[in-house]
Each structure stands twice: as C-alpha cells, then as structure tokens.
Chain A
Amino acid sequence: MENKEILAKLEQIVSKEPSKWHEESQYRIENKQWLKRSQAVALKILRTLREQGSNQKELALKIGVSAQQVNKWVKGTENFTFETIAKLEHALQVNLMSITGFENLSKSSNKIIQNVPYYPQTAPKVSEYAAVVNAGNLKVVYNKYDNKAA
C-alpha cells in the first residue's frame, strides 16, 4: 500500500480524541519525584500485608476507611498526608517513613535556637516538660523560637 494511501486512511480511522496516555504520562513525568515515594510506601504496605497474612480489607477495617480507599493507596499514586502515614504505621506496626540526616539538621537549627533560653536541646521527658511548664517558661521559649524562625 502506498504511503499517501495509508495516511489518508489513517485520517479517517484514527480517533480525533487524543489517547489518554498523553495526559497520564505528562502527569507521571511532572510528579515523578513524589510519586516515587508514594510507590515505595505502597509496596511496603502490600509486602507487609502479605507477610502478615492480612489483606487490604482488614487494613481498611483497622484504620476505619473504605476498602476502596486502601486500594487507592496501594496503587502508588496517593499523595499521603502525615496523618495517613501515621495511621498506617500504627495499624501495620512498621515504619513507612523516616527522615535521614536529622542529626545534622538539628545541629544547624541549634545555631538559631542556642540563644533562646530554656529551649530543650534534646527532647525532654514528660517530667522535664512539666518542670519547664511549671517554671512558666515554655510559652516564652516557643514564641521566641517562632519569631526567630519567621
């Protein structure tokens, strides 16, 4: 068949609507960075459920969401909130997300906060918090820190 003849035929038979792929692939390319993380979370959920002999339905019941919602999560396209991650971690008893390099971040943050009186350098125990609160300093401490950070 001649090329011209083929092109004329194509004009007739090919849909005038674009393939869904054009839009879908554009979305995947533009959102690649966070999608990677979502995919990793999705896979961890699925592998954990499999290891535990559980399933999406049971997970949905534990968390109090619909099975459809869990199914959406495990596709690897969900932009999870911290709240959802925390609920999933609690229900599955696994760590789904960790922040690496936090120690370094703390050090650089210390430059800002070291002059703030009473700012806890390490996370205080409950009893220590109580002591700070009792001393009436906690509010002042965080207000000052917030102002500096802003």
Chain B
Amino acid sequence: MEIVNIFAIVKNSLLAVQFDGKESDEFSMLFNNWQDVEYLEQFFEDNKQDLQSGFYGNITIEEAVFQTIEEAESMERYIKKVANRGNSDPNNTLHDLVFTPLHKNDNTINHQESKAYGQNNHSWLRMYAIRISTNLYVVSGGAIKLTGKIQDRTHTTDELLKLKVTAAYLKEIGLIKKEDYGFIEISSHGK
C-alpha cells in the first residue's frame, strides 16, 4: 500500500491522500461510497447484525441507506461551504466537524482539541486523519462505524493500517516529525 498523491480538500486545512491502484483520493472515494446505493445496500446487508444490534437502535437496511446518504450530504455540503470560502477567510475552519483522538490516551498531539460529540449525534460516518497542526489534517480513509471500537471489525481495522501508512509517508516527505502528530477520528455534529 503506497501513497501516490495528495490533494487539497480545504486549502492548507484538510488534505487527502490517494493510494496506488485507486481512482481518486480517499476523501472523494468516501463521499462516493457514502452516496452509492449499491455499495450501501451491500454494506448494511453484510453488517446486518451490527446494524440491528441496538448500538444505533433497531433500524432497517432501507432506513440505514437513506440515513447514510443524508448524513453524507450534510457533511459534504458543510465542507464544501468552507472550501469555497477560500483561504483568505480567517473563519475558514472546520469547526462544525468533530475531531477526536483515535486513542483515548493519545499524548502525541501537542495541541489537543477537546470537542465533544453533539448530544443528538448518532452519525456512524467516520473519516480518519493525521493531525499535523491545530487546523491541518490529512485524511487517510474512513468508514461506516457500527461498533464501539475501530478494532472491532475488519473494515475499520484496515483503516488503522492506512493511517499508519499515511503517517509514515508524511514523515518521509518531512511534513511531520516524531510526536508532532496524532491519529484523529472526524465525524459531524449530524446537522
């Protein structure tokens, strides 16, 4: 697994990597998948037990597909708005997204943000990113997280590997130094 390119989603604020053999960067792929009916129907069918285990309440596959599409749309619209504002706007921050450290006792981040999930936030959409500085993140992938921990399922543990590969790449090109970064999980307030 190798990184072949890196793209700006929000200039100097949100970047995304592209892995070899993939058609586009991870950020684009996430939003394509999260609004692809065939992908979602198959995903929820494959993970029906987790979906209906009660972690998110009892929910049908049809409801789950449409809920995912709506959440993705809402997240996408917000990021689009920020991206369109351009870099000159001092308010160009992604403050409506929730950035949380992936590992609860992660001490590797110098400027730890402490945003909490909104009380009504039941979104299962997650982006995973390396945090380089206060307002600079590099997205390595994402997932629909139906279980409590990232380690619980294969499709989410794959994301841990992608995070590690991305961190190694950023170190290699000199963008991060040891202990300058942290693994971050990004979700939305579910607005």
**A75 adjacent to B38 (CB under 8 Å):** yes
- A19 near B36: Cβ-Cβ < 8 Å: no
Q: Give the interface SS of chain A, mostly helix, strand, loop or mixed.
A: helix
Q: Is the CB of B77 within 8 A of A24?
A: no
B16 interfacial contact with A, CB 8 Å: yes
Number of interface residues of A (CB under 8 A): 31
Contact of A25 with B by CB under 8 A: yes
Which residues of chain A from 4 to 61 have any CB-CB distance to chain B below 8 Å in the complex?
Answer: 6-7, 9-10, 13-15, 17-22, 24-26, 28-29, 32, 39, 42-43, 46-47, 50
Select one of A21, A43, A47 contacting B31, CB under 8 A: A21
Given contacts A3-B133, A43-B41, A75-B37, contact A21 B62 (CB under 8 A): no
Give 3 closest A-B pairs by Cβ, nearest first.
A76-B37, A19-B7, A21-B28
Inside 8 A of A75's CB, which chain B residues have their CB? 36-38
Q: Which B residues contact A (CB, under 8 angstroms)?
A: 5-9, 12, 15-16, 24-25, 27-28, 31-32, 35-38, 41, 45, 61-62, 65-66, 69, 73, 76-77, 79-80, 83, 132-133, 136, 173-177, 180
Q: A101 CA to B76 CA in the complex, in Å? A: 33
B80 touches A20 (CB 8 A): no
Residues of B contacting A47 with CB < 8 Å? Answer: 41, 61-62
Find out whether the CB atom of A39 lies under 8 angstroms from the CB atom of B69: yes
Contact yes or no, A25 B76, CB < 8 A: yes
Cβ–Cβ < 8 Å partners of B38 in chain A: 42, 46, 71, 74-76
Inter-chain contact B80/A39, CB cutoff 8 Å: no
Q: When A25-B76, A39-B69, A42-B38 are in contact, do A6 and B136 touch as well, CB less than 8 Å?
A: yes
- Interface residues of chain A, those whose CB is within 8 Å of chain B, are 1, 3, 6-7, 9-10, 13-15, 17-22, 24-26, 28-29, 32, 39, 42-43, 46-47, 50, 71, 74-76
B37 near A46 (CB under 8 angstroms)?
yes
Rounded to whole Å, the gap between the CB of A33 and the closest CB of chain B is 12
Bound Cα distance A1, B136 (Å): 12
C-alpha spacing A26/B84, complex, angstroms: 11
Knowing A20-B25, A43-B37, A71-B38, the reply to whether A15 touches B73 (Cβ < 8 A) is no
